[in-house]
Amino acid sequence: MTTEGASAGDPAGGGAAAWIDAELETLRDQHLMRQTTARPGAGGKLTEGSIELLNFSSNDYLNLSRDTRLIEAANAAAARFGAGATASRLVAGTLPCHDELEQRLATHKGHPAALLFGSGFLANIGTIPALIGRDDHAFADRLVHASIIDGVRLSGARLHRFHHNDVDHLSDLLAAAPLRARKLVLTESVFSMDGDMAPLDQITDTAERFNAMILVDEAHAGGVFGPHGAGRIAELGLADRVHIGMGTLSKALGGYGGFVTCSSPIRELLVNRARAFIYTTGLPPAAVAAGSAALDILEQDPGLGPTLLERCRVFRLALHARGIDTSHSASQIVPVLIGESQAAIATAEALQQHNLLAVAMRPPTVPEGTARLRLSVTLAHTPDDLTRAADLVADCATAAVAT
C-alpha cells in the first residue's frame, strides 16, 4: 500500500516528505534546478563521436589530467599498494607515498609541514574547527568558498563577513572583536567564481596587527601562480606569515585530493583534532602518486603557469573588444556576467549547440542577479580555440540577454 500522492517505490513522493516536491518545484520555477550530466571524458577538450567539444568548465588548468606521466605513476602505485588505502591515516591507512607527498608539498609551498585530506572541501571543514571554537571569532571574505563557511559553522565560532577584498572593513571588524578572543581570518587567494585576486599582503598585515591567525585557500592559485606554481602565498613571500595554506590536487595538478601546509605544531594539532582527517580513509595510492608526478612536472617546467596566464590575458582582451564584461578577473578563471539565471542558461545552451561547453553558474553559488558563465581557460585551449570561443560567447550572450 502506498501513501496517497506517492508513487510505488518512491517514498519521497508524499506523506512526511511531501515538502520535497514543493522544494524541487520552487527550484524549477527559479531556474535553479541542477542535475548531473555524464560527459565522454574530462579536461579542456572532449570528443563525442567525431565531434570535438571545447570544455570551458574544467579546472584542469595545466592539462595534466590526461598526461601519461600522471597516469603511469598512478598505475604503478595501484599495482604496488592496491586500489585504496583501506583505513584511516591514524589506524593503518598511512603509506610511504602519503608521507613522501606531504614532505614534498611542504617544501613546494615553503611551509615546514603539510597534511593530506580527502579533498579541498574536507581540508577546510576539518582544519577550521580544529583551530577555533564556540568562544572564538572568524572573519571571512564575503565571496569565500562554501567549504570555508561550512567549516566556520561546524566550529561554532562567531562568523563575521567582510566586504569582498575590503581590508578596511576587515580591520573594523577585527577592532570590534574582544581583545583576548581567538581570531581567524579566512580568504581565497584567487576567487573561484570571479577569477580576481585577494590583496594578500594587506590582509596579512591587518591580521598581524590584531594578533589573528590567517588561512588562505589556494585551490585556484596552485600550479598557476608563483614560482613553479607554488601559489600566491609563495609569489608574495608570505609563507612565514600565513599560518595555513589550503591547496588541492584536483585542479591544476590534474588528480584528486586536498591538503594544507602549515607549521609542524599546527599539523600535529590537526592530526589530533581535525575530524575530517581522523575519521576518513586515507587518499588512494594512485591519487597520491599522481600528485607527486604533477609536482615533478611543475619543477621541471616552470613556464606552464605563465604560459596559461598570458593566454588568459589575450582572451580577456578579446572578450572586452566584443563588449563582454569579465568583472575583475586577473587569472585563468574568466567570468562572463549575464545577470539573470534564465539568460545564463540560454547562453550556455546556445554555446553547446556550437560545441562549446560552459556551464551556467547561478545562485546560491553566486550572488542573486550575477548569474554567469564561468570560463576556465586551460592549456588544452590553443590561441585559435580562444579566438573562436570569444566570438561565440559574445554572439550567444548578446542574443540571450536580448530575448
The three-point CA angle 299-66-80 to 5° equals 80
Q: Which three cell numbers stand for residue 390?
A: 570569444
Domain residue ranges in the chain:
41-63+303-402, 82-300
Is residue 192 annotated as a catalytic residue, yes or no? yes
What does each C-alpha distance from 273 to 125, 127, 282, 357 come to in angstroms? 12, 8, 16, 41
In single-letter form, the type of residue at position 3 comes to: T
Which of 46, 67, 48, 47 lies closest to 56 in space, CA to CA? 46
Question: Which SS3 state, helix, strand or coil, does residue 65 take?
Answer: coil
For the domain bounded by 41-63+303-402, which CATH number is listed?
A: 3.90.1150.10
Domain 82-300 adopts which CATH fold? Aspartate Aminotransferase; domain 2 (3.40.640)
Told to judge if 137 belongs to the known catalytic residues of this protein, a careful annotator would answer no
Catalytic residue among 55, 58, 59, 147: 59
Quick: pLDDT tens for 317-327.
999 999 999 99
Catalytic, 145? Answer: yes
For this structure, is 217 an active site residue?
yes
pLDDT tens for 328-387 read 999 999 999 998 989 999 999 999 999 999 989 988 888 888 899 999 999 999 999 999
Distance CA 225, CA 220 (A): 9
Sheet holding 258-262, edge to edge: 113-117, 258-262, 244-248, 213-217, 183-188, 137-141, 158-162
Contact present, 233 and 204 (Cβ < 8 Å): no
Active site residue 59: yes
- What whole-number distance in Å separates Cα of residue 166 and Cα of residue 42? 36
Contact between residue 247 and residue 218 where contact means Cβ atoms under 8 Å apart: yes
Tell me: the pLDDT tens digits for 283-341? Answer: 999 999 999 999 999 999 999 999 999 999 999 999 999 999 999 999 999 999 998 98
Q: Which of 192, 292, 329, 331 is catalytic?
A: 192
Q: Considering the candidates 145, 160, 228, 243, report the single residue annotated as catalytic.
A: 145
The pLDDT tens digits for 207-240 are 999 999 999 999 999 999 999 999 999 999 999 9
Is 60 exceeded by the pLDDT of residue 8? no
